[in-house]
Structure 1
Amino acid sequence: MKFNSDLIKNLSDCFSPSGREQNVRELIINEIKDYVDDFNIDSLGNLIARKKGAGKKIMFSAHMDQIGLIITHVDEKGFLSFSNVGGLQAKELLGHRVIFNNGLEGVICSEEVKDKDKLTMSKLYIDVASTSSDFVKKNFQIGDMCVFKTDFYENEDCIICKAADDRIGCYILIEAIKNHPSTDNDIYYVFSVQEEVGTRGAKTAGYSINPDLAIALDITATGDSLDKTKMDVKLNGGAAIKLMDKSLITHPEVKDLLTNLAKNNNIKYQYEVLEFGGTDAGAIHLTREGVPSGVISIPTRNLHTSGEIFNKNDVIECIKLVIAVVK
């Protein structure tokens, strides 16, 4: 299976923070529209694509949104106060460049703080590099959002980029759609909104679809770097089959299904227990009377930063596992 680096880059670079997913949604529609039986955009903004069948109703979900910042105050001198949209820590933001949907940029700076470990969002601001109050008033206002400004980097086996969480999950579903196998199952490929602020899109999509089985595609942490995260997941270890995180204990039959499919199809896999965080599956499995759910995770270093790192081989194994589930 050929790895489509251009598509990954386009997804990573697409400006779409939580609640503002329209750009990446249009990109995905253009990629999949000729490969699905139908698709629709629901009231919350989820993109729901379907390959029709008379068998079991299976839902896959990968979230389109990315973490970002929202402007709370605009100073005429060109200094913007902000709050976070999704899981970000103030001490990790200082010095990062950001970009707005209009293409303008800024850099995150700090007021004078004696103890950097006690830095808070209220002490940070964005300098948009202008001395013109007219320019600032014209181009920035309360409610505007921005995301990290990061160059895409690729080597022989890994990629460094922003928004791997969860554009890599979206990539996997796009590739699965393009390689959709013959099956009687009724397959729903969901590209969800607002996961980073509470798995909101997956909750409504899961309720409307009411699937027999749900599988989320999302990144997970690794234990193979120097950040001292204690877990067995590693880059180039294959697709990670989640056993538990803070939002989900994987249904045992779903865990067995994913494991057996990996073994029977020579798909490289590993098990994941994540001691923090959650995914779309956490919301979906509690909808209506309950939905047996699981997660296929992509091992990723530097979560929720401007430079997330993942392995290409792991991505390919995840695509294979999704296709095996579909069959």
Structure 2
Amino acid sequence: MELLKRLSESFGPSGHEKRVADLIIEEIRDYCDEIFVDKLGNVIALKKGQSDKKIMYASHIDEIGLLVTYIEKEGFLRFTNIGGVSPYILLGQRVKLDCGIIGVIGSEKITDIPKLTLDKMFIDIGVNSKEEAEKLISIGEVAVIHREFENKGDKVIGKALDDRAGCWVLINALKQIKNPEHNLYFVFTVQEEVGLRGAKTAAYRIDPDLAIAVDVTAVGDTPKAHRMAVELGKGPAIKIKDMSIMVHPMVKDMLIQKAKELSIPYQLEVLEFGGTDSGAIHVSREGVWAGVVSIPCRYIHSPSEMVSVDDLNNAVKLIVASTEFEF
């Protein structure tokens, strides 16, 4: 889990993913035939096959974050969100700015907590004036939650496992694949949290015949959770639908068939909110057969996302198996 720890703790909000990209490039450079970084920042790794067919795999490297919009005269930093940030989860958290400074999220006096909004919150970096703050940061500075990765044996906890867990799965699958039948494009996408932007441009460039995204998904296994037939530790989930895609039945059925052939535990996922890179990929150019292998995850978009190690390892097996699809 050392690689997942490094991925989780890396700094990489949407639009500022270079440190994560550099880590991934260093990890995979000896396992692929070509690596290319496009203008948007997507890392595209090609493992050449025997046929002329192209399969695209995608996991996003960006994480949700904050962006400084204003500096108060006392030195407090006002901010806006990058992606789906909840004010209730943010309150009292430590954040790390791009420059390395650690700050604390505070808020104006709130007597009715449901009325807490981001515009009533600020980052306290421990200075006493706007002038002091401006010596350290400027408008547009970005920040992410500051939290260490924890290994709990059969489960791991960390920030940004959405979707560094998916990146871990693709990295380990790439290392295991030998002499593939098809041309395999492993794409570590940027700006997923702000609109699936990296996947859109990468898919247009690659023009794949088939695509599979690997991302986290919600679960229904915590007390009084929203009713959902996905649990931690019961295997990767094969997506049927979310708000961005109706998965092509052929892709869903091929994934199920491979899981059954290899006795890989799996679940079926219907997500009633959210989406993944597959949502942008499947409508690229003239359309792409696309599906999703999902990693069950508790507490998504929080500082302490939790996934199962067994689910991660079984997701790797399923991705490796999917490279043998006949289509």
> What's the TM-score, normalizing by structure 1?
0.97
Deviations 1:128-183 (A, max 9, x none): 11226544111111100000011211112001100000000011111011111332
Aligned residue in 2 for 1:155: 152
* Equivalent-residue separation in structure 2 for 1:133 and 1:243 (angstroms): 51
- Partners of 1:59 and 1:135 lie apart in 2 by 48
1:138 aligns with 2:135: yes
In the alignment, which residue of structure 2 is the partner of 1:43? 39
The answer to whether the 8 A contact 1:77-1:133 is kept is yes
Deviation at 1:101, TM superposition (A): 2.0
- Give the counterpart of 2:6 among 3, 6, 10: 10
Map 1:59-70 onto structure 2 (within 5 A): 59-70=56-67
> Are the equivalent residues in 1 in contact too, given 2:96–2:146 (CA < 8 A)?
yes
**1:295 & 1:152 partners in 2: Cα distance?**
26
Answer with 246-255 or 122-131: which moved more: 122-131
String of CA shifts for 1:5-36, please: whole Å, max 9, x gaps.
11001000100100000000000000000110
Q: 1:205 to 1:96 in 2, by over 3 A?
A: same
Match of 1:126 in 2: 123
Please tell me whether the aligned partners of residues 49 and 179 of structure 2 are also in contact (alpha carbons under 8 angstroms).
no
**SS of structure 1 residue aligned to 2:44:** strand
| Secondary structure at the counterpart of residue 297 of structure 2 | strand
Q: Corresponding residue for 1:177?
A: 174
Contact kept, 8 Å, 2:238 with 2:294, in 1: the verdict is yes
- Aligned positions of 1:66-145 closer than 5 A: 66-131=63-128, 133-145=130-142
Report if the CA contact (8 A) 1:76-1:137 is conserved. Answer: no
1:250 aligned onto 2:247 = yes
Supply the AA of the counterpart residue of 1:18: S
Contact 1:281 1:295 in 2 (8 A): yes
Q: Secondary structure at the match of 2:243?
A: coil
Count of residues paired in the alignment: 323
* 1:29 is aligned to 2:25: yes
The answer as to 2:256 corresponding to 1:220 is: no
Q: Secondary structure at the match of 1:196?
A: coil
Unaligned runs of 5+ in 1: none
Aligned to 1:286: 283
SS at match of 2:313: helix
Deviation readout 1:172-212 (Å, 9 max, x if unpaired): 11101111133221000000000000000000101110111
Counterpart-to-counterpart distance in 2, 1:198 and 1:133:
33
Distance in structure 2 (CA, Å) of the matches to 1:282 and 1:92? 27
C-alpha separation in 2, matches of 1:206 and 1:81? 36
CA-to-aligned-CA distance 1:65-94 (integer Å, 9 cap, x gap): 000000000124220000000011222211
Q: In 2, are the aligned partners of 1:223 and 1:230 still within 8 Å (CA)?
A: yes
Q: In structure 2, how many angstroms separate the alpha carbons of the residues matched to 1:89 and 1:227?
A: 20
- Unaligned runs of 5+ residues in structure 2 are none
Taking a change above 3 Å as real, the CA distance of residues 312 and 144 of structure 1, as seen in their structure-2 partners, is: same
Equivalent positions of 1:170-319 (< 5 A) are: 170-319=167-316
Q: What is aligned with 2:48?
A: 52
TM-score (norm 2): 0.97
Distance in 2 (CA, whole Å) between partners of 1:224 and 1:193 is 30
Q: Would the aligned equivalents of 2:99 and 2:137 in 1 still touch at CA under 8 Å?
A: no
> Is contact 2:181-2:323 (8 Å) kept?
no
For residue 195 of structure 1, give the secondary structure of its aligned residue in structure 2.
coil
Contact 1:235/1:314 (<8 A) preserved: yes
- Asked if the contact 2:47/2:183 (under 8 Å) is kept, the reply is yes
In structure 2, what is the Cα distance between the partners aligned to 1:270 and 1:244?
13
